[in-house]
Amino acid sequence: MEDKKDFTFTIEGKDYTILEKENTLKESNKKTLHAPSLGIGAIIAGLCIVGVFFGLGDFSESSEQLIEKQIVQEPPRPQQISIDTFIQNGSPILGKTDAPITLVEFGDYQCHFCNVFYHNTGHEILENYVMIGKVNVIFKDYTIIGQDSINAAHAAHCAGEQGKFWQYHDILYDNWSGENSGWASQENLEKFAQKIELEMNSFTECNVEEKYMQIISASNKDAQTLGITGTPAFYIISMNSGQVQQIEGAQPYEVFEKVFDSMLET
In three-state form (DSSP H/G/I as H, E/B as E, the rest C), the secondary structure along the chain is CCCCEEEEEEECCEEEEEEEECCCHHHHCCCCCCCCHHHHHHHHHHHHHHHHCCCCHHHHHHHCCCCECCCCCCCCCCCCCCHHHHHCCCCCEECCCCCCEEEEEEECCCCHHHHHHHHHHHHHHHHHHHCCCCEEEEEEECCCCCHHHHHHHHHHHHHHCCCCHHHHHHHHHHCCCCCCCCCCCHHHHHHHHHHCCCCHHHHHHHHHHCCCHHHHHHHHHHHHHCCCCCECEEEEEECCCCCEEEEECCCCHHHHHHHHHHHHHC
Predicted confidence at residue 168, as pLDDT, reads 98
Predicted confidence at residue 135, as pLDDT, reads 98
Q: What's the whole-model pTM score?
A: 0.78
Secondary-structure class of domain 5-71+101-265 per CATH: alpha beta
Predicted confidence at residue 84, as pLDDT, reads 94
Predicted confidence at residue 93, as pLDDT, reads 98
Of 98, 84, 117, 133, the C-alpha closest to 260 is 133
Residue 178, burial from CB neighbour count under 10 angstroms (0-12, 13-18, 19+): exposed
Q: Please list the ranges in the chain whose pLDDT falls under 50.
A: 1-4, 7, 9-12, 16, 18-19, 21, 24-61, 72-73, 78
How far apart (Å, rounded) are the C-alpha atoms in residues 211 and 209?
Answer: 5
For residues 226 and 81, the answer to whether their CB atoms sit within 8 Å is yes
Predicted confidence at residue 266, as pLDDT, reads 78
CA 214 to chain centre: 17
Predicted confidence at residue 52, as pLDDT, reads 36
**What is the radius of gyration, based on Cα positions, of the chain?**
17
Distant-in-sequence contacts of 85-88, Cβ < 8 A, 24+ apart: 85/222, 85/225, 85/226, 86/44, 86/138, 86/222, 86/235, 86/237, 86/244, 87/23, 87/25, 87/26, 87/138, 88/23, 88/26, 88/218, 88/222
How far apart (Å, rounded) are the C-alpha atoms in residues 249 and 126?
Answer: 18
For residues 102 and 87, the answer to whether their CB atoms sit within 8 Å is yes
